[in-house]
Amino acid sequence: MKKVLAFLVLFLLVGCEQKFDLDANGKLAMQYLLDEGYTIKSYDGNYVYNVSKQDLVRQPHYYMWGVQSVSPDPYIGKDVIQERFTVKNHPLSKLYGPIAVSVFIYNGEVIGGTSFPAEGGMVGAPHSLDGKTLEEVIGQNDTQKWWKEWEEKYSKNSDHK
């Protein structure tokens, strides 16, 4: 009986260890999330996203970039990799339970990301990787003013590259 019980405990411990088949970007993103104190529930794949000025004035792209601490300018015309995970212990977890995060990576470096409730998909705008709203990131409640400035900067008629 003791052998069976010991085997069961060992089986459960080994079975609970999560292994993900990740490339270098996936490993970088996962380590970043672990360093932030999040618990990884699942790896949900990756997506290569070419940043364009046209997208920056469309939903959800302007929200995705609006909640970043970096400007999208250096990445226009370039591929940004989004590594996607579902996590626990995130600032939004108390409100929504498991959280879906996308870690943005460019040239082997984490440059930002988004977060939103894992269940039910994105409702409203995404949050920053650490759970902040657009208003919190831009430091103002007047998102209309922010949007007007953003649109002027990134509309295809602007001189901004």
* The pLDDT value given to residue 16: 47
Whole-Å CA distances, 45 to 41, 42, 96: 13, 9, 21
List own/partner pairs for 33-40 with CB under 8 A and 24 or more apart: 33/85, 33/87, 33/101, 33/103, 36/130, 37/89, 38/87, 38/88, 38/89, 38/90, 38/101, 39/87, 39/88, 39/89, 40/85, 40/86, 40/87
* DSSP characters over 34-55: HHTTPEEEEEEEEEEEE--HHH
Q: Residue range 45-53: average pLDDT?
A: 96
Q: How many Å apart are CA 121 and CA 137, to the nearest integer?
A: 22
The 10 Å CB-count burial string (b at 16+, else e) for 77-110 is eeebbbbbbbbeebbbbeebebbbbbbbbbeeeb
Which tokens sit at 104? Answer: 């943005």
Predicted confidence (pLDDT) per residue in 103-118, tens digit: 999 999 999 999 999 9
Range with the poorest average pLDDT among 5-14, 54-63, 65-74, 144-153: 5-14
pTM of the shown model: 0.84
Predicted confidence (pLDDT) per residue in 127-149, tens digit: 999 999 999 999 988 899 999 99
Residue of higher predicted confidence among 19 and 41: 41
